[in-house]
Structure 1
Amino acid sequence: MKHKQAGLSLIGLLIVAVLLAFVFLIGMRTVPVVTEYFAVKKIIHAIAASNPSMDETTADIRRDFDKRASAEYVDSVTGQDLAVYKHGGQFEIGIEYSRKIPIVANVSLLLEFQTDAKSNGGR
């Protein structure tokens, strides 16, 4: 009875290793960007939850964002990138931005982020 040998050849092992290295590379490049997005989201929701008074200007909210972003090491966006609207007795704060991550040579990964939050009304 003939038995067929099963297992991974050297070429198969190299292919698997290259694929795993590529996945690891993409993960290592995207994790900091996604972590920064979650920091931006947390800052925007914290500002909205602090219920800015209607006396505050959009410049005050942007300045508050810049202070918090500096503490969270957010470098991709600034307060000038925020969209701040007053609707009735509440603020709506949002941001939309993208990050291009170079992978290898002319291959890049584009990540687009969007988040917004509404305040519960003025103080």
Structure 2
Amino acid sequence: MNAVRASARAQRGLGLFSLLFWLVLIGGITLIALKVFPTVNEYLTIRRVVEKIAASGVTTAPEVRNAFEAAKAVEYSITSISGKDLQVSRQGERLVISYAYNVEIELVPPVYLLMKYEGRAPK
């Protein structure tokens, strides 16, 4: 009989402090994800634009930069780099376009998250 009462009195579920701990942890992860997502989206847009330019058959660096600036005027999400930030080189007959840039994301002052993005086309 005592064993039945003891198990009935045993606490089940989360306590207040463990609930607060999980709320703070999940809230912090959500905050970071919401601040990082736009930069990842911008990187994917830049990669798609550069791959499209590389596949279009441009032959000179000024053509690449002008095509990127034209695409940047249409794609409102590209703000971190411009056409002059692209490095254009030749590997044999191919034109290789590469880029690299950093984005600082303010999480909670004075804490920042540094994201480094780079890519090249064609791979």
Task: Tell me the TM-score normalized by structure 1.
Answer: 0.88
CA distance in 1, matches of 2:98, 2:74: 19
Match of 2:103 in 1: 99
SS in 2 for 1:51: coil
Which of 10, 15, 29 aligns to 2:35? It is: 29
CA distance in 1, matches of 2:96, 2:31: 37
Q: Which runs of 5+ in 1 are unaligned?
A: none
Instruction: State the structure with more CA Rg.
Output: 2
By percentage of residues, which structure has more helix? 2
Structure with greater contact order relative to length (CA < 8 Å, sep ≥ 6): 1
Superposed counterparts of 1:59-74, under 5 Å: 59-73=62-76, 74=78
Deviations 1:49-106 (A, max 9, x none): 11113xxx31221111011122112011100110001233220001011111010111
CA distance in 2, matches of 1:118, 1:6: 58
1:70 is aligned with what amino acid?
A
Superposed counterparts of 1:76-91, under 5 Å: 76-91=80-95
CA distance in 2, matches of 1:58, 1:83: 8
Instruction: Say whether residues 1:115 and 2:119 are aligned partners.
Output: yes
Instruction: Say whether residues 1:47 and 2:50 are aligned partners.
Output: no
RMSD of equivalent CA atoms: 1.4
Q: Which runs of 5+ in 2 are unaligned?
A: none
Runs of 4+ in 1 over 3 A off after TM superposition: none
